[in-house]
Amino acid sequence: MTRITGVRLTTVNTPRHNGITCGHVVVELLTDTDLVGLGEMSDLQHLPRFHFDIPELAATLEDLLVGLDPLQTTEVERRLEANFPQAGYIYDKSRAIKCGVDIAVWDLAAKVLGLPLHELLGGQVRDSVPIAYPVFRQQHDADVERNLAMVERRLGEGFEFFRVYVGRDLALDERFLREARDRFGDRLKIKSLDFSNLLDAKSACAFAERVTDVGYGLVEAPAPNHDVRGLVYARNRLHVPISEHVYSNRWALDLVAADAVDVFNVSVIAIGGISPARRIFAIAEAAEKSCLIGTTQELSIGTAAAAHVAMAMPAATLPSDPVGPLLYTRDVVRHPVSYDKGRLRVPEGLGLGMELDPDLLAASAGPLTWRHTTADAVVDRQQVTS
């Protein structure tokens, strides 16, 4: 019987191609055999602007986990939830802690059984998932042409779906949408307009209606955080499905009770790991809601976890969002996750199918920091300019 004997946390900083740098924590669960479980606390540049005391966190996690059999996934979840409870807030960092550990436990459990992770989650129901590449918000005139050039490049690589972030400068948002449609025609499929809870429901709906002729599949987060009435207003007013991020069990139940959305955006990182994500998918299936796999733009370890979940959950029927490894200039694994003509493939091998590259890990290792980053740059994923 395999037992967990220790927890190793390595902080890394990885630049994105657009200039911002995001911090992550690589989780290694050590055992009394040669097996190691890998996990990832992803993109900790999400708000709020603080970081963990890593030695204290590692000691706390060892106190909770050492001695457990990695197949005791239910007991691991119970202990994590008791010590890092769901806060019902998309930027709460307790969900990042739980996610990193939970992924590592599932990776380790699958390795113990000699299985790829998706088999342990119930078996593969699809062989890939289409990915919607993100178009980050326009805040300056130059951003429009930059994003148009990016879309053209990604279309050439086989991506056809795009998620367009809107809501900061609506005039620039509209200009981008219309120029993109004029330039790319039907080659471009806009999966969603993502308002990220920036606007009130009436303002978001007014903009969505103004650009209806551009064509898009979903409207996401068209109301302030936790504004169920705003989501209901948008769902009744607009003629496309409404999607919202689900970041707690209670929030999922509230959305179902109010019949406020058509689509659950289920992110492994936002909900706190694979174990709670499975519960959200179960709620969605019972309520007959469609799902897509969300993201905070993870490195390959976190993206591999999302891929295995996507392959095993029947309700995950819509184009999804995990594209992080393509946004960063470097990763920490020997063989990053792969994309084939705009589709995310499940990695091969046992567990997650990921193996750390010691040289890449060392190249990215360093203290987590918020220097050279602003709150607006984090929210809108824009390069900090002086």
Catalytic residue among 133, 165, 328, 339: 165
- DSSP class of 91: T
Residue pair 320/265 in contact (Cβ under 8 Å)? The answer is: no
State the Cα–Cα distance between residues 230 and 235, nearest whole angstrom: 9
Which one-letter DSSP state was computed for residue 306?
A: H
Instruction: Specify which residues 192 forms β-bridges with.
Output: 163, 218
Contact, 57 vs 39, CB < 8 A? no
Residues 16 and 328: beta-carbon distance below 8 Å:
yes
**Pairing mode, if any, of strands 132-135 and 128-130?**
unpaired
What does the DSSP 8-state code read for residue 17?
A: T
Is-catalytic flag, 247?
no
From the list 284, 224, 218, 295, the residue with the least C-alpha distance to 253 is 284
User: Is 133 one of the annotated active-site residues of the chain?
Assistant: no
Q: How many residues does the chain have?
A: 386
**What's CA 110's distance to the chain center, in Å?**
22
φ, ψ of residue 269 in degrees (nearest 5): -70, -40
**Residues designated catalytic:** 91, 165
